[in-house]
Chains A and B, each alone.
Chain A
């Protein structure tokens, strides 16, 4: 599993909904930072659709500025949430060309259209926050990331 442009990840992918009183913390684990960011992207898709099966109809590139990986991860999700809010599209496949503190991020994201009827159990995510945002290598080659979403 590489989450590259040539071999992107598709939903469903594992993620954890970590308990938070009012909001939602999404946590992922992976064997590389590319898989970790792709899993965060696809967690967003699974939450927005109410974990329904999605068939991709459009493809777009998401590019974010270089910086702290946690900030970059939040920026990727912010961009995709904006696309959901304005175009009604939900991420369902993700390949990562670049995700690097020095060079920035460049992701290919396939999306499916939001359907009010079949996705009515989806989560209404207002925003992706920087609160306790975490994206780090754990020392044994594993990567962990956590992002809090305002709902």
Chain B
């Protein structure tokens, strides 16, 4: 398909409505970034998403856009909460894959010489890698159902925490209230029962980082960030439980694309398969998806507790000395009911964010009181060799992107290309020379996750700031990395 892409702002491009598209597409990119991906199937996927039944506003893509399956990674689509369809592929397999940052009182000088001990301790404490087992031991079905209902709160009640206000500092307080554990299949429960408190592999990580540059002093202060401070960033999701929930939902819908009417039958990719929100299938998926999202919050919360304990043991200091506090926890693979101002009217919509982060602006009552004046913390991991960023949501994000921003750097190279490009290189040693201690289960992961396989997250965040949908607050530099 030849796409007509028109520039409508310095960092904004539009794909006008054509064919069976219900709304236009809008892509946030610099001209250079667009040129580099002119022939990337991800752009066509933005137009494909514009076919979703009940979609409102625009099919959006953030500057970390890359080729996904069905939705592009970096895609955002809101559908009418009554007449729209939910697309399990628009949430993705790793339901509520997300990021959290935990601030500490520790500073660069105190930890720089202790990196091997710290990284070793974290690697031993947090299960990583393919099929990695549980940090909590195998959970019985009743206990697992409580995890699915309560999310992060379940984990804090079990003592896995940074501080006593972790739950308040998670998006949605770390639990979606509509979760229906009974909608989660036996197969998904089986996969989840042995994986709570585990990192997984691929692009998931646990990183020790230093606040390398404070860009917005006022917001950094509100977020508890200061120059030279050590923070912990965790990127993980709902593991096999979430994968199974999505897998079953997509497979069920892909076999019956025609049963919900012509709009559903005409979707341009089977992986976009949708169910009407009011249908039994739609309600069942939403209940199961929300339960899987809660599992992911509990997963990141359990790892938080394990990681803080491991840091304390490695440094021989107590929790008071570490002073850990959750800055925020965001999900970037999710569909959530939210109210937004669309064409001057407040409407209830289901916002799919597939590789995109909620980025609510100042004044929004859905934010924790501590952040209401400055906007929501937006946590953007980069790659393991360069930087990550903390941003803040803006008013413009609320009117332009359903309160959404980017979610990471975005892949540039395929995994195969990254392995070829790094053949013969010793990534561990290269990173160590750059002051980054890394441990991973397999060499393959390190090769596939090498810095040059990703866009520079500084360029990505520059675009969202330039477009006005987020504001850069601080830049974080990795010093210790755990990979699966």
B67-A126 in contact (CB<8A) = no
Task: State whether A82 touches B187 (Cβ < 8 A).
Answer: yes
Using known A-B contacts A127-B93, A127-B243, A151-B415, determine if residue A78 contacts B66 with beta carbons closer than 8 Å: no
Return B52 CB to nearest CB of chain A, in Å: 15
Contact B247 A131 (CB under 8 A): no
- Inter-chain contact A22/B269, CB cutoff 8 Å: no
B131–A88 contact, CB under 8 A? yes
Whole-angstrom distance from the CB of B138 to the nearest CB of chain A? Answer: 12
Q: Which residues of A contact B89 (CB under 8 A)?
A: 129, 131
Minimum CB distance partner of B45 in chain A: A131
B69 touches A21 (CB 8 A): no
Please name all residues of chain A whose beta carbon is closer than 8 Å to the beta carbon of B243 when the two chains form the complex: 85, 126-127, 150
A130 x B270 contact (CB < 8 A): yes
Contact A86 to B415, CB < 8 A, known contacts A124-B202, A130-B273: no
| Residues 107-152 of B at the A interface (beta carbon under 8 Å) | 129-131
Chain B CB within 8 A of A34 CB: no
Q: How far is the CA of A34 from the CA of B92 in the complex (A)?
A: 31
B59 → A minimal CB distance (Å): 17
A20 to chain B, nearest CB (A): 6
Instruction: Give Cα A151 to B448, complex, Å.
Output: 11
Given contacts A22-B67, A129-B69, contact A17 B413 (CB under 8 A): no
Chain A binding surface SS class: loop
Query: How many A-B contacts are there with CB distance less than 8 Å?
Result: 114
Q: How many interface residues does chain A have, given as a range?
A: 35 or more
Bound CA span A151–B201, Å: 9
Q: How far apart are the CA atoms of A58 and B442 in the complex, in Å? A: 27
**CB nearest neighbor in A for B445:** A124
B418 CB, nearest partner CB in chain A, Å? 10
Asked whether, in the complex, the Cβ of A127 is within 8 Å of the Cβ of B246, the reply is yes
Enumerate chain A residues within 8 angstroms of B443, measured Cβ to Cβ.
121
Q: What residue in chain A is nearest B355 (Cβ atoms)?
A: A22
Q: Say whether A23 faces chain B, with CB atoms less than 8 Å apart.
A: yes
Best-surrounded residue of A17, A65, A126, A132 (most CB of chain B within 10 A): A126
Partner of B240 from A85, A88, A132, A148 at Cβ < 8 Å: A85
Taking the nearest CB of chain A, how far is it from the CB of B74, in angstroms?
10
Known contacts A21-B66, A71-B254; A120/B129 CB under 8 A: yes
Q: How far is the CA of A24 from the CA of B349 in the complex (A)?
A: 33
The smallest beta-carbon distance between B29 and chain A, in angstroms, is 15
Q: Output the residue of B93, B247, B255, B411 with the most chain A CB within 10 A.
A: B247
- Bound Cα distance from A148 to B202, whole angstroms: 16
State A47–B287 Cα separation when bound (angstroms).
Answer: 33
Q: Which residue of A24, A124, A133 is within 8 Å of B201 (Cβ)?
A: A124
Give chain B residues whose Cβ lies under 8 Å from the Cβ of A150: 69, 92-93, 243
Interface centre among A21, A74, A131 (most CB of B within 10 A): A21
Partner of A131, one of B69, B190, B417: B69
CB-contacts of B266-293 with A (<8 A): 269-271, 273
Nearest A residue (CB) for B68:
A22
In the complex, whether B336 has a CB less than 8 A from a CB of chain A is: no
* A130/B250 contact (C-beta < 8 A), A82-B187, A124-B130, A150-B93 known: yes
In the complex, whether B212 has a CB less than 8 A from a CB of chain A is no
1/0 per residue A2-33: CB within 8 Å of B? 00000000000000010111111000000000
A25 to nearest B CB, angstroms? 9
- Is there contact, CB below 8 Å, between A50 and B42? no
User: Hey, which chain B residues are within 8 Å of A85, CB to CB?
Assistant: 131, 191, 240, 243-244
Q: How far is the CB of A12 from chain B (nearest CB, A)?
A: 17
Contact A120 B271, beta carbon cutoff 8 Å: no
**Closest Cβ of chain B: how far from A116's Cβ, in Å?**
8
Nearest CB of chain B from residue A4's CB, rounded to whole Å = 27
Q: Which of A21, A88, A126 contacts B413 (CB 8 A)?
A: A21
CB distance from B258 to the nearest CB of A (A): 12
Least distance between B388 CB and chain A CB atoms (Å): 19
Nearest chain A residue, comparing its CB with the CB of B441: A120
Contact A23 B131 (CB under 8 A): no
Cβ of A62 under 8 Å from chain B: no
Given contacts A19-B414, A24-B415, A122-B130, 14 further A-B contacts (CB under 8 A): A20-B414, A22-B66, A78-B247, A82-B187, A121-B444, A124-B484, A126-B94, A126-B243, A127-B246, A130-B69, A130-B250, A130-B254, A131-B270, A150-B69
